[in-house]
Amino acid sequence: MAQLFSPYADMGVRAVLLALAISPAVLIGAGYAITRSPFVTGQFLFHTQPIPFSHKHHVGFDGLDCRYCHFGVETSRWAGIPPTEVCMTCHSQLFAQAPILAPARDSLASGEPIRWLRVHALPDYVYFDHSIHIAKGVGCTTCHGQVNQMPLTQQAEPMTMGWCIGCHRDPAPYLRRPEDVFADSWSPPPEQSEEGRKLMAHYQIDATHLIDCSVCHR
């Protein structure tokens, strides 16, 4: 009797069936990886700004407090992007004619704001309030990273829903004393587990409903 199929036909069929079986898992895994990649989240990426502002210089070297520029962070949802007048408070005297600051001088003369590109851009359906996080002991660098070491600002954390929920489910490891909220060199002390529980009581934080949908989606 003539052989209808080659010796490798069975192997080929098995390979096809195996590929069909695992392809859904591969596609789901690939989609999961892509949605959490820096290409989608923006983590670690740099933006070309009108002026290459350096937090490392202004915060790390000059010692500017976050609130000098981001003046709304304690009282508003928005930390605030400083108007040109804030920049020129110093730069009308320091490096006043530096070519790199030409956009700031043009902005001051024309009254048109500098068109900064937002680094941390949450979707419109996400409600986030800077002031409540500051009031409850969450420090700037917890979300924004060591900005005092960034020559150019980048997004240090993924800012995904899962990342936010991780903190909302158990805030204690991230809480600081009031005097440390704006410290750019803070790191959790060895006793942070116990300290965090005390701070939750101090700030009257009840995590029971912190992961409710309505907390971030209103």
Q: Is the pTM of this model over 0.85?
A: no
3-state secondary structure of 119: coil
DSSP code of residue 60: I
Q: How far apart are CA 28 and CA 128, in angstroms?
A: 29
pLDDT at site 42 = 87
3-state secondary structure of 51: coil
The neighbour count for residue 63, using CB atoms within 10 Å, is 9
Q: How far apart are CA 150 and CA 56, in angstroms?
A: 5
Residue pair 69/86 in contact (Cβ under 8 Å)? The answer is: yes
pLDDT at site 153 = 96
Q: How far apart are CA 49 and CA 149, in angstroms?
A: 18
Buried b (16+ CB within 10 A) or exposed e, 80-99: bebebeebbeebeeeeeeee
- Cα 29–Cα 30–Cα 33 angle in degrees, nearest 5: 85
Per-residue model confidence as pLDDT tens for the chain (218 residues) = 445 556 666 677 777 777 778 888 777 777 767 777 787 888 998 899 999 999 999 999 999 999 999 999 999 999 999 999 999 999 999 999 999 999 999 999 999 999 999 999 899 999 999 999 999 999 999 999 999 999 999 999 999 999 999 999 999 999 999 999 999 989 999 999 999 999 999 999 999 999 999 999 98
Give 40's Cβ-side CA count (13 Å radius): 8
